[in-house]
Structure 1
Amino acid sequence: MKKLTMLFLMLVATLMIGLTACGAGEDDALPNVDDTSGDEPAENTDGETDETDQDADSDAEDNILEMATSPDYPPFESLDVNGEFVGFDIELAKLIAEELGMELEIRDMKFDGLIGALQAERVDMVLSGMSATENRRQNVDFSNEYHSSGEMFVTRKDEPMTDLADLEGKTVGVQLGTIQEEGAKAIQEDYEFELKALDDAQMLVQELITNRVDVIYLDKQVAKGFIEVQDLAGFDDPTDASPGMAVAFPKGSALVEDVNAALDSIIDSGKLAELEAEFLSEE
């Protein structure tokens, strides 16, 4: 009996030692809950850098001059074979940006969307052969006028027209949102003809060549280019009522005064005359 008791006590003692050893091992494996160094938020060493980057980005954006144009109106604006913007207005915009010490970015838009882009302030300005009409002045601001060339009716050589009376009963093509669209509607008050408006000047020329319209109504300088290239005919608009072209801005834009000063400098330096000789010369 004593032997059994002794064996029992020894077994109990052995179990107690084993349990103690196991308990100590588990405690050693637990993390030190008093050590919170791993939970401390890291020092924000990037704070100043982020703010600096944001300031740099803001400065870069402030130095960008975003311009919209409808590049279907040579020689004022068009795309070359490489898809690059070219033309009188494009080069003038580059000179304006240079005068302002800004980087020019150009966006391609349909002409009838240009005013809306300014109203929504998606761009800083528009150079796109745009006439500074009183109707447009209700929605945007304009710079001083930089060019005026008048309007012209363009026809096929096999069906020439010489005056407004020849428009009677015909279909006249115009570009949407242009001064020519407004002018044609005014002429309709005295002469009966159908008006067909499209959003691209080059499409208008194709409509004329393929006999889908009888005549198209364009800026005189643009019309002369198409007449020469496409072997067409035409006559001047005798009403001569359209205002000159100007740079357009969102209402209240601070750029108007600066761009007017830039235009004055470009005119005084003779650079505008050089552009006119390069792009708008009749020779």
Structure 2
Amino acid sequence: MIPLSRRLAILLTAGFLAAPVSAAQTGPFDLSPEQAGREHTTPNPEAIAAIPKDFRFVTPGTLTVGINPSSPPLAAYATDTQTVVGTDPDIALLIAESLGLKLEIVPTAWADWPLALQSGKIDAVLSNVGVTEERKEKFDFATYRQGLHGFFVHNDSKVQKIDAPEDIAGLTIVVGIGTNQERILNKWNELNAAKGLAPATLVYYDDEGTKLLAIRSGRADVMVQPHAQLVFIAQRDGDFRKVGTLSAGWPERSDVAATFRKGSGLAEPVSIAIDGLIRNGTYTRTLQRWQVQDEALDQSQVNPPGLPKF
């Protein structure tokens, strides 16, 4: 019996699965287990030298990484329903190779990653974890992507650009209730009210199909949610386009980071490894391969400022 989480992942990716499992590429994203186009790199001596001498990996010679395979193109199950593929697995592989290690991916539910890390089941988490001040009290971080939300519209929409609060005035926007995106849009509405501009109307739906129908039917103008999710939907369906992005930490910047046990000493060597990947081009090519190049960083940071406690 295939676990429910894997069956859901298969359904999510069904729009790309028109060819046999052995095919290297079946659409805009390669969801084959073979991953023929995946980037590789060579060991980075500086990063290897920075690994604490007393650090014990879960498995000697291997970097064991927790990843939640539920959100393509960041991470999902391949067509064999076993192999975890996507942006985060590719970055994890490049980090492991930079450190002179093999990679083992442990599929980890989002709610379970803190305990898996603290209990020593895994060495690191690469699963779209954003840096926050609260998380920094228990974990260390090495950033590897920007945390972005996306503004997407139907291809027929008259909306061409959203970069600032005034651009949403008078629009109807689909957003998740209780999300960071909702918090930011409410702040934008407050700024627009102070300028005498019409507020945006925020609307909420329980499932993806209803959200997309609202945009297609004209009941809503814009859809806002994590950028990579919307990139996947736009490529899958073909009738949505991006009109802007928004930092998850607005008005500040918020980055996504590889996550480690507090004081483990792995954040520094991984950050050095990521910087090496940025310099040699494998980082950029990997993000381009999964069409999330807008989330690229110029350099990795260890424990940068994160989202404040609210």
User: TM-score, normalization: structure 2?
Assistant: 0.55
- Aligned partners of 1:150 and 1:240 also within 8 Å: no
**Larger helix percent:** 1
Q: What is the CA deviation profile of residues 114-134 of structure 1, one whole-angstrom value per residue up to 9, with x for unaligned ones?
A: 334334443211112222233
Q: What is the CA deviation profile of residues 142-194 of structure 1, one whole-angstrom value per residue up to 9, with x for unaligned ones?
A: 01x222263213455688876434566x65227x9xxxx33432433554746
Q: Is 1:208 the equivalent of 2:202?
A: no
How many Å separate the matches in 1 of 2:210 and 2:141? 32
Q: Unpaired runs of 5+ in structure 1?
A: 1-57, 199-203
Match for residue 114 of structure 1?
Answer: 113
Q: What is the CA deviation profile of residues 215-246 of structure 1, one whole-angstrom value per residue up to 9, with x for unaligned ones?
A: 65333343223123222355424556441222
AA partner of residue 111 (structure 1): W
Equivalences for residues 56-71 of structure 1 within 5 A: 61-71=59-69
Equivalences for residues 186-225 of structure 1 within 5 A: 186-189=184-187, 191=189, 193=202, 205-209=208-212, 216-225=223-232
Q: Is 1:247 the equivalent of 2:258?
A: yes
Residue 70 of structure 1, CA deviation:
1.8
Distance 1:223 1:256, change over 3 A: same
- Aligned partners of 1:131 and 1:245 also within 8 Å: yes
AA partner of residue 183 (structure 2): K
Q: Secondary structure at the match of 2:104?
A: strand
AA partner of residue 229 (structure 2): V
Distance 1:112 1:164, change over 3 A: farther
Match for residue 39 of structure 1?
Answer: none
Residue number among 77, 80, 92 corresponding to 1:82 in the alignment:
80
- Aligned partners of 1:66 and 1:124 also within 8 Å: yes
Q: Which moved more, 1:125-134 or 1:115-124?
A: 115-124
Match for residue 16 of structure 1?
Answer: none
Q: What is the CA deviation profile of residues 98-122 of structure 1, one whole-angstrom value per residue up to 9, with x for unaligned ones?
A: 2223232212233343334334443
Match for residue 92 of structure 2?
Answer: 93
Equivalences for residues 13-52 of structure 1 within 5 A: none
Match for residue 150 of structure 1?
Answer: 148
How many Å separate the matches in 1 of 2:203 and 2:212? 18
How many Å separate the matches in 2 of 1:117 and 1:224? 29
- Aligned partners of 2:74 and 2:87 also within 8 Å: yes
Q: Is 1:264 the equivalent of 2:285?
A: no
AA partner of residue 182 (structure 1): N
How many Å separate the matches in 2 of 1:66 and 1:241? 32
Q: Is 1:279 the equivalent of 2:287?
A: no
Q: Secondary structure at the match of 1:62?
A: coil
- Aligned partners of 1:173 and 1:216 also within 8 Å: no
Q: What is the CA deviation profile of residues 242-276 of structure 1, one whole-angstrom value per residue up to 9, with x for unaligned ones?
A: 41222111211222122122223222322212213
Match for residue 228 of structure 1?
Answer: 235
Distance 1:127 1:156, change over 3 A: same
Distance 1:115 1:236, change over 3 A: farther
User: Alpha carbon RMSD of aligned pairs, Å?
Assistant: 3.5
Distance 1:226 1:242, change over 3 A: farther
- Aligned partners of 1:142 and 1:249 also within 8 Å: yes
Q: Is 1:164 the equivalent of 2:173?
A: no
Between the aligned residues of both structures, percent identity stands at 24
- Aligned partners of 1:173 and 1:195 also within 8 Å: yes
Distance 1:77 1:211, change over 3 A: same
- Aligned partners of 1:160 and 1:233 also within 8 Å: no
User: TM-score, normalization: structure 1?
Assistant: 0.60
AA partner of residue 131 (structure 1): G
